[in-house]
Amino acid sequence: MRSPAKKRIFDDGSGASRRVVMPWGQTVRMCLANVKQRLGRSVLTFICIAVVVAFFSSSMVYQDFLVRLMASPDVHVQAVLERAGVFVHDVDSLARQRDQRIWLMTLSAVLCLVGITNTILMSVTERFREIGTLKCLGALDVFVVRLFLIENALIGGLASLLGAAVGCLLAVLQLGAVFEFSLLSWWFCAEGMFPGAAKSVAVGTFLTLLASIYPTYVAARMRPVDAMRSEV
């Protein structure tokens, strides 16, 4: 009887490399192909994120506009504000509005999180055979993690950008409707929009990544033998 093998797998004498790798280029190509393949579901996730981010950015940008207008020394601006019923010195009402806004934003963020997690989880469980096959071909868990995170970061980032842009537009329209468009110069808009828009893009992307943690974990834990499962 042979002695129990002490030999390690890499010592097969063939001089083959010990590496198992997945280059970034390949990863991104696969992600893009996957997004294209499941366009319907990707668009669904995309819209969900874009809507929430639009809401975030519109309310943040609107609030920023308002604060800036109230701080303005211009008599005309003050007159318009007063006519619209905004009292420059009513700090309490402003604080109340802000709290309300934060509450609404948190609520929509949670809803969005649950919704996106569900959509991504569906796409993960649907792809059990593909993931199992990748593992049979030698993919490590971390390759699968990378695939799903990049795919969702792509969707989340793009959706957030679009959502933020739409939100800024909405904020301008809202301001124009409540007060006067004449209050808004190009420079005023551009300067006032940036912080709110940037914050909402960051929040949107972060939310998407947060939502994809659990589904990605599920995907990474799938076993190679799942590739042989015949039932869905």
What residues line the site for another protein (CB under 8 A)? 4-5, 7-10, 12, 16-23, 26, 30, 33-34, 36-37, 129-130, 132-141, 143, 223-225, 227-228, 230
**Phi, psi angles (nearest 5°) of residue 4:** -55, 140
Helices of type H across the chain: 24-37, 39-70, 75-83, 91-126, 128-136, 141-178, 186-221
Provide the minimum distance between the beta carbon of 19 and another protein in the complex, in angstroms, as a whole number.
Answer: 5
Provide the minimum distance between the beta carbon of 213 and another protein in the complex, in angstroms, as a whole number.
Answer: 20
For residues 209 and 113, what is the distance between their CA atoms, to the nearest angstrom? 10
The residue among 212, 216, 208 whose CA lies nearest residue 157 is 208
Provide the minimum distance between the beta carbon of 197 and another protein in the complex, in angstroms, as a whole number.
Answer: 33
Nearer to another protein, 9 or 91 (CB): 9
Nearer to another protein, 66 or 139 (CB): 139
Q: Write down how long the chain is.
A: 232
Q: How far is CA 156 from CA 50, 81, 126, 144, 228, in A?
A: 8, 37, 20, 18, 32
Nearer to another protein, 84 or 228 (CB): 228
Nearer to another protein, 136 or 165 (CB): 136
Provide the minimum distance between the beta carbon of 225 and another protein in the complex, in angstroms, as a whole number.
Answer: 4
